[in-house]
Structure 1
Amino acid sequence: MKRNTLIHEPLYPPIRPHQWETALFQSKPVRRLKHLAHFGAGSLVTSVVHSRFEHTVGVWKLAAHFFPDDDLLRAAAILHDLGHLPFSHAVEEALEFDHHQITEQYILGEEMTKILGNASIKSTDVVEYLRKPSVLTGRNHVLGIDHLDSFFRDTYMFCNTEVPPHHILPKLTCTEQGIDTDLETGLYLLKLIKQDHELFLSPFLVGVDRLLAEAIKSHWNEQPHHADRQVFAGLTDLDVVAMLQSSSSLRAKRIIRILLYEPDKIHISEQEGYPIRIRKIYAKAPLCNGQLLTEISNDAQELIDSLPDLTFKRYVSINS
């Protein structure tokens, strides 16, 4: 199969896109995802810099691999992350945005509606699909396609995987409930989930997200009241960095300088600075021959039970 170099990522075998899928990938809202770090503000202080675009291609590949004839799922996989803000989740809560609502606005817009219509897919059907539990998100505590790619990709990019994802893929099937596999592979996937939490929800990296959010809030607090905060939702990571570097807020300029050039000055403590915590624990597991893995394996249940132990309440500050 001839590889489409504009729609490519290294974890899974190539998939031949339909013409309408190529059009979606070449649209401006989807191309914008190339400029949003999947790893949030952590991309500023680590070497892990894969984008929301690579993740989107991966989710689409998995959807097409498991359900090649389900055009609605394939469309939803391409469009499911359109509404993410710059640096992904890093500032969404602090600025009171909802990326799900923004995603729906993009999908219902003229550009997406026209491309989907050419494939006889209604944009309203895609929105409705994304609003409900599905094989994309996983149902009833079962691992879904979206997060499967995240756990594969995050740990792979951090060089923390024992087995390349394309070697694991033949051992996986997918039902309407979510990912199904054998016991050994299922336990390996749960270990990846735990590793992903340990890597990317560490106090330091959660603190980096919080500092970026504080820089952006400091910048907006000095803008005129008529400034359109909704414009922020359509920016890229590079736009935000440039905005903060030229901000009238000295605090915003100092924080972005620290994040870019002096991350060693970031300090995590028990009682001083901005409070930080983990936003969400993902406690879903794969199926094993149709049964939830945690219901047939004590080791699997122990892995899931250990995830809440990673939660914390700390503070982040910048040393003088």
Structure 2
Amino acid sequence: MGPILAVCVLRGRYLLTGSMHGAVALHRAYDGKEIWRVKDHNKFVVKIEVSEEVNEGDARGWWFATAGYDKQVHVYRIHILRESEQHDECKIVHVGSIQYDTTPEALCFIPPPLLPTHHTGTPPTQPPFLIVSRRDSTKVYYYSLLPNPALIKYYELVPETTSHIMFSPMSLALSPGPQPFLAIATDSVPVMKYLLLEPHTGRVLVESFTGAPQTAYSTSVVVWRPSGRGGVWVNANDGFIRGVEAGSGKVVVELGGAHAHRRQVRTLWAGEVDGREVLVSGGFDGQLILWEVVQESQPRVVDGVDFGGAL
């Protein structure tokens, strides 16, 4: 399999992983049992994204996509047919692939408009759209998925009046809540830029500089706070995590200091655990840090693990 570069959770029971060898695999999370494996990429798999559940009859259905350094995106459909302690059965179909001139950097599924939307609890009955961003392009590209991935539109993120400004959208995150918004983190310009997009119209609502330093080799990450609490977290090369107010683009908190990361923050996850809002961060200093977000106060470190090497 090789070192794992991308991980995505499927309905709390499975892990989809992508490796440096180009392999993608499905494992049961609780015991690590491998259920499925394929090698459609011939270079590093750097991103995996899973859709919300799609109502496709008796079987539970999802879509997932993978992006690699071979400048390809592959799209799959997965149906969970049976689950038990002894045996999990699923059907995974390769729907198609997309070839690019530059490396795809970020993936995001979005429900079609005028249908039950993101996080309503009702699975939509039609396939989602796939949004892709790629290096050295200031556009986000939208694809329909059936019968094969097909480009249907793209949105330019840089107005014509400032067309001399160049950046790459490196991370895409769809907001929780009934009305989806797309948060975007860019590469260095020379610091990360944050954009908020109305995904079905392509209108840029907010554009701001976060102050998060990046280099040409950085991997920008943006994640939403859970339950639509109006903010996002972004990483940086200086070891700090910045909290950005989604609607204004203003940086309202910086997490750092003695108990925080000493080097580049590589990955972020935000969610709720046992009713508590938490943030998990991993860095090139080998630390995995759990933060608890307390109302009306700065998040505090709950626990940290030092793995002695880059995560």
Taking structure 1 as the reference length, what is the TM-score of the superposition?
A: 0.23
Give the structure with the larger helix fraction: 1
Give the structure with the larger strand fraction: 2
Taking structure 2 as the reference length, what is the TM-score of the superposition?
A: 0.23
Greater Rg over alpha carbons, structure: 1
Q: Which has the higher contact order (CA 8 A, sep 6+)?
A: 1
